[in-house]
Structures are given as structure tokens and as C-alpha cells.
Chain A
């Protein structure tokens, strides 16, 4: 299965809150799980990524939690700010079969709005 299922579709939080976005996958060959952030009128940009050999990765206020047995991963944004308002995409890919390492399969995105 090539799908990556992302939820929720949209999310509204107050400034300082901790939005959590969840993703699930089926393909056990996936070995790279990035999150991309997209602002209106811009292309997606890599935010943070994780590989399945660790269960958590933090970069600043952004944390990925990874549960290999459940085939799920999530993005947490600590102390969220209005400037974090954007669409967030989870994705997955597999380098195992060579060639198409960039064949990222994206979730459908979560539109986050952080209210002042």
C-alpha cells in the first residue's frame, strides 16, 4: 500500500498551544518520514524528518514521534505561534529499492491556524 493517511484536515489552536498532527502508513518498506511546511503561495519546505531507527526527534519547537509497530508518526509543535500557521504535510518514502528515493508519498495535508 502506498498511502499515507493524515489527520486532522484542519486544526485551530490558541497561541502557546500544542497542535498535534498524525499520520499512518501501511508500507513497511518506508524508511524515511519527513514533514513539510507550506505557506500560502509558496512551495512545501522540509521542516523535520525521522528515520525508523529512533522513536523521537526534536528540532527547536518541532518534535516527531514515531511508532514503528503501529506504523504511525506525528508532529507536535510546542508553544505554537501565529507564524506557524501553514499547511503541514507528512510524507514517506523508501530508499530500499533504489532509484526513486525522492518518490515521496504525501499525506493530504493539515491546515493549521494559530490564533493570537
Chain B
């Protein structure tokens, strides 16, 4: 158990809809990262938050947004969903210490867009 909790584990929705994925980081970790995993693209970095503020942005679509709250949990919002958004979405957390590097991943939220 990594200590990172993601909900929901599975989500099925329709095209055009909006969903919110939630992540609780490990106790004490200030950084939260979101990754998208699909069969053809592997693990793609979406966005990182550190102590409530956006720290880095990757290949995140404009239809997607995220935030980190004062209690350090994070939410990833996906809107105007398309079939191609079907994927596993992982949250990871870390202690933001220079060059430690290790990320602790949750078990993911599997999104299916029909």
C-alpha cells in the first residue's frame, strides 16, 4: 500500500460529460502529480501541484484542470469528455525534497467514456 488514495476506482460516463477524480496523498507529502496511462501512450505526465500551487504542467488538455486544496488532497476535472479520454488516471505524491525523485502512486481511476 503506497498510502495514496484515489477515488473512484472505476467510472463509466458518456461523451460530452464531466467527471472529477480525487486523490489523497501520503501523509506529509506536499506534492501531487497526475498521470494518464493509456495502452498506446504509456504514462503521460499531466500536472503537478505543490502545497496548493501549480508547479509543473505536462501534456494536459485544456479540457482538463486540476487543483490542490488546503488539506493537500487534489482533484482532476475532465470535461467535454471524448472517447479518447478513456484511460487510467494515476495520482502520485512525493516529499518535495530536491533530487529524491521517488513518486508514490495510487491504484488509479479507470475512466471509460462511451
Interface residues of chain A, those whose CB is within 8 Å of chain B, are 31-32, 34, 36, 41-46, 49, 89, 91, 93, 95, 99-109
Do B107 and A41 touch (CB < 8 A)? yes
Tally of contacts, chain A with chain B, CB under 8 A: 72
Do A106 and B56 touch (CB < 8 A)? no
Do B42 and A108 touch (CB < 8 A)? yes
Identify A44's interface contact among B41, B43, B98, B100, CB under 8 A: B43
Write out the residue numbers on chain A whose beta carbons fall within 8 Å of the beta carbon of B55.
Answer: 99-100
Do A45 and B31 touch (CB < 8 A)? no
**Docked complex Cα distance between A11 and B43 (Å):** 19
B58 within 8 Å of A (CB atoms): yes
Do B48 and A100 touch (CB < 8 A)? yes
Given A45-B2, A102-B33, verify A107-B42 contact (CB < 8 Å). yes
B94 nearest in chain A by CB position? A102
Q: What are some 25 contacts across the A-B interface (CB < 8 A)? A: A31-B99, A32-B99, A32-B101, A43-B108, A44-B43, A44-B90, A45-B2, A46-B102, A46-B103, A49-B101, A89-B42, A95-B98, A95-B101, A101-B96, A102-B56, A103-B33, A103-B48, A103-B58, A104-B45, A104-B101, A104-B103, A106-B35, A106-B45, A107-B42, A108-B42
